[in-house]
Amino acid sequence: MTRDPTAFLKSEYEELVKQALDWRLRELQGPSSPRAIVDGKEVIMLCSNNYLGLSNHPKLKQAAIDAIKSHGVGSGSVRPIAGNMDLHEELERRLAKFKGAEASLVYQTGFAANAGLIPQLVGKGDLIISDELNHGSIIDGVRLTRAERAIFKHTDVPDLGRVLDEAKKHKPAYNRILIITDGVFSMDGDIAPLDQIVKMSNPHGAMIYVDDAHGEAVLGKGGRGIVSHFNLTHRDVHVEMGTFSKAFGVVGGHISGSEYLRKFAYNKSRTWLLSGSHPPPVAAACIAAIDILETEPKHVENLWKNREYFIKSMQDFGFNTGMSETPIIPVMIGESDDAQKFSVRLFEEGVFALPIVYPMVARGQARIRVIMNSALTMEDLNSAITAFEKVGKELNII
């Protein structure tokens, strides 16, 4: 009998289950909202990246409906051929103005931006210097290059300086040096010291690329992101990558910087060139999200108010909230099994918050990752806090 070449799929999956490292998919039945229906149960949503609650905002829904009526449900092509619609161009103009950049380019996803652009910025004879906790999409983008790679300790600017000094001694000299960092780190909720990174890199003439997926519409003036947060410009930070899939409430990735960055990217990034463009309702909803950020500051303000209330309550109970500086709040548990149990019990208590376990984080560093939402009411927050206290005591975490 012929050996089954796919037998490893079953055995490797079963090993993940045995180690409590498998993802167990739950079903969202309706919109992503502060109180949502998941697997038939009403729960308080604490694990969605929908920071501002915009995914179900009436203005975004209406913009999408109007775009379907005027432009249909799809573009019919990739943008370089016949899929470059006026809505795509308008979105990029609006985004660039919002970000204070010369130009912006929209990608199909944030992952596509990193995987498509990083390999074009550097190649053989170049060096990439990357924060050790950078997102997997950055890591995959780096792996696609022929550049040499170096790592600096997490958010450690002196260690970055050490790597830059060593790079200066390299023979032959590197043609280009690209420093890449997340803006907000998705597992811990801490912020890259981007202003210090810029200062350290300037004497070396390095390019700086920041993935601001979790800072987009969260940090900076009116949610303009990490470059705004540190009062920098796109002459300081050469590539600011972001996403529409989180706080903007829709889907898609984007980059902002110089006009030549935009032109270079859309001519060189295969992920952009060879992927179908966003459906008209997606582009229109993203434009509506920018409108809301520019005219309704309450969403960002309330997000931070909710974050401060929740994290203080967690710390008052004795929970360890790690290095959080943002609406990403890790409630540290320890072992993966315990984090899985904690999440299950929270769900039974009406709170949807997922465990983050090895290998996404180091062994012994499993946590419940809470992602705060501006649309949560004080009643929602207090109910969630009560559930955390109950389960924390029950499982001897506090």
pLDDT for residue 172? 94
pLDDT for residue 24? 81
Euclidean distance between CA atoms 351 and 381, whole angstroms: 10
Mean pLDDT of the region 353-367? 88
What is the pTM for the complete model shown? Answer: 0.93
| Angle (nearest 5°) at CA 187 between 182 and 188 | 85
Q: Answer for the pair 342, 397: CB distance below 8 angstroms, yes or no.
A: yes
What are 219's two structure tokens? 């940090």
The 10 Å Cβ neighbour count of residue 317 is 15
Q: What's at 51, amino acid-wise?
A: Y
Cα torsion angle, 164, 225, 55, 94, sign: negative
216-238 tens-digit pLDDT:
999 999 999 999 999 999 999 99
pLDDT for residue 16? 86
pLDDT for residue 245? 96
Q: Answer for the pair 15, 337: CB distance below 8 angstroms, yes or no.
A: no
314-339 tens-digit pLDDT:
999 999 999 999 999 999 999 988 99
251-288 tens-digit pLDDT:
999 999 999 999 999 999 999 999 999 999 999 999 99
Question: Which runs of consecutive H residues, i.e. helices, occur in 6-135?
Answer: 7-18, 58-71, 86-99, 110-121
The distance of Cα 14 from the centroid of its chain, to the nearest Å, equals: 29
Q: Is 356 helix (H, G, I), strand (E, B) or coil?
A: strand
Q: Judge whether residue 21 has pLDDT over 80.
A: no
Instruction: Report the candidate in 279, 280, 284, 192 with the shortest Cα–Cα distance to residue 241.
Output: 192
Euclidean distance between CA atoms 315 and 332, whole angstroms: 11
Bridging pattern class, strands 351-352 and 148-152 = unpaired
Euclidean distance between CA atoms 52 and 246, whole angstroms: 9
Q: Answer for the pair 301, 376: CB distance below 8 angstroms, yes or no.
A: no
Q: Judge whether residue 55 has pLDDT over 90.
A: yes
| Average model confidence (pLDDT) across the chain | 95
Structural domains of the chain sorted by starting position, each given as residue range(s) with its CATH number in brackets = 19-48+297-394 (3.90.1150.10), 58-295 (3.40.640.10)
pLDDT for residue 370? 97
Euclidean distance between CA atoms 338 and 360, whole angstroms: 16
What are 338's two structure tokens? 């315990």
The residues that bridge with 356 in the sheet, in sequence order, are: 367
pLDDT for residue 23? 79
Mean pLDDT of the region 116-143? 96
Task: Name the strands in the sheet holding 35-38, side by side, starting at the edge strand that comes first in the sequence.
Answer: 35-38, 41-45, 351-352
Euclidean distance between CA atoms 294 and 104, whole angstroms: 17
Euclidean distance between CA atoms 161 and 178, whole angstroms: 13
What are 346's two structure tokens? 């929270």
174-205 tens-digit pLDDT:
999 999 999 999 999 999 999 999 999 999 99
User: Residue 154: enclosing H or E segment and its boundaries?
Assistant: none
Give 1's pLDDT tier (boundaries 50, 70, 90). low
56-105 tens-digit pLDDT:
999 999 999 999 999 999 999 999 999 999 999 999 999 999 999 999 99
pLDDT for residue 17? 85
Residues forming the active site = 186, 214, 246
Total residue length of the chain: 398
Q: Judge whether residue 2 has pLDDT over 90.
A: no
What are 285's two structure tokens? 């909803």
Q: Answer for the pair 241, 272: CB distance below 8 angstroms, yes or no.
A: no
Q: Judge whether residue 357 has pLDDT over 90.
A: no
Q: What's at 239, amino acid-wise?
A: V
Q: Judge whether residue 302 has pLDDT over 80.
A: yes
User: Residue 136: enclosing H or E segment and its boundaries?
Assistant: helix 136-143
